[in-house]
């Protein structure tokens, strides 16, 4: 395993400075990429030569070298892998990821921005989701979803924190669900084969820190895409939302993520997941 780890002699490890709002756990993050920027296309080529590029799923963010990240995603998609892009931090003007954004979207099977990132990706200002019901949330997010779909993404998603996730997905992937946390909407704008799905997020008291919840969601989704091909994309999203919702009850990022032993066994069964009471 050591041969797969590259150590920089000139830069520090990537770090992030995170501030958390006291009352609701909202956060602001300043990223200092450090050695992440030293990852090169040559490193990706070497990993591919050694068979280390992946077998099923590749997930990327905007926190490493832009050209190397894009090359890895394009190579992964060419090999038939599922590619997941969590476009964080948002590629604002001046970001080296911005000129490559179109290619990143084309190389992505799934894109899962939050509200801020969706506004930057699409150029469509962020609307107000406060107080909206699932139908209103879906209708409000639809312009974002359509923009990302037209860019070539198979499964466009928007993560909305406590308001759950919306996705523009094949209708067949969720029309038979009996889950009460899923709402399906049809629109003339998406055709008869697709629908807008809203996946509700469990409501928790005692939220202390939302930092890393999006990462927890994306990581959980990558797990289900790789390990549970028999589940529908809607069921995978339901489970990923539920797991991510638990991370906001603890302080920190990775240390707030539940271990498998802390999660209900039903999350790893083939039957439709039912929220624990």
Q: What band does 20 get if pLDDT is binned at 50, 70 and 90?
A: low
**Strand order across the beta sheet in which 155-159 lies:** 57-61, 82-86, 110-111, 155-159, 165-170, 194-199, 182-185
In a domain, 226, yes or no: yes
In a domain, 141, yes or no: yes
Q: How many domains does the chain have?
A: 1
pTM, entire model: 0.93
In angstroms, the CA 28 to CA 257 distance is 19
In a domain, 171, yes or no: yes
In a domain, 3, yes or no: no
How far from each other are the two terminal CA atoms of the chain, in whole angstroms?
41
Contacting residues for 267 by C-beta, under 8 A, at least 6 apart: 239, 242, 243, 273
What tens digit of pLDDT does each residue of 211-247 get? 788 999 999 999 999 999 999 999 999 999 999 999 9
Residues of the domain holding 243: 10-259
In a domain, 271, yes or no: no
In a domain, 277, yes or no: no
- CATH number of domain containing 122: 3.40.1190.20
249 or 169, which is more confident?
169
Q: Catalytic amino acids?
A: 215
Q: Is the per-residue pLDDT at 1 higher than 60? A: no
Q: What band does 30 get if pLDDT is binned at 50, 70 and 90?
A: confident
Ranked by mean pLDDT, the top range of 12-21, 163-172, 198-207 is: 163-172
In a domain, 267, yes or no: no
In a domain, 238, yes or no: yes
pLDDT score at 2: 59
């Amino acid at each position: 395993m050591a041969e797969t780890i590259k150590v920089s002699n000139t830069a520090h490890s990537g770090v992030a400075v995170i501030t958390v709002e006291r009352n609701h756990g909202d956060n602001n993050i300043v990223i200092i990429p450090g050695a992440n920027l030293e990852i090169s296309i040559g490193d990706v080529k070497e990993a591919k030569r050694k068979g280390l590029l992946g077998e099923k799923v590749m997930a990327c963010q905007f926190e490493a070298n832009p050209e190397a990240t894009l090359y890895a995603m394009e190579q992964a998609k060419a090999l038939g892998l599922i590619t997941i892009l969590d476009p964080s931090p948002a590629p604002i003007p001046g970001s080296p990821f911005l000129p490559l954004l179109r290619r990143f979207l084309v190389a992505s099977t799934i894109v899962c921005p939050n509200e801020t990132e969706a506004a930057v990706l699409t150029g469509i200002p962020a609307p107000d989701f406060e107080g909206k019901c699932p139908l209103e949330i879906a209708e409000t997010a639809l312009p974002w979803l359509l923009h990302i779909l037209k860019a070539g993404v198979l499964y466009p998603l928007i993560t909305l924190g406590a308001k759950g996730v919306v996705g523009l997905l094949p209708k067949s992937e969720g029309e038979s669900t009996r889950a009460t946390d899923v709402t399906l909407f049809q629109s003339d704008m998406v055709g008869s084969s697709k629908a807008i799905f809203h996946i509700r997020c469990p409501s928790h008291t005692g939220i202390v820190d939302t930092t890393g919840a999006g990462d927890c969601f994306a990581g959980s989704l990558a797990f289900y895409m790789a390990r549970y091909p028999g589940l529908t994309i809607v069921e995978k999203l339901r489970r990923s939302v539920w797991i991510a919702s638990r991370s906001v009850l603890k302080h920190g990022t990775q240390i707030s993520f539940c271990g498998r032993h802390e999660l209900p066994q039903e999350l790893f069964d083939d039957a439709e997941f039912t929220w624990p009471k």
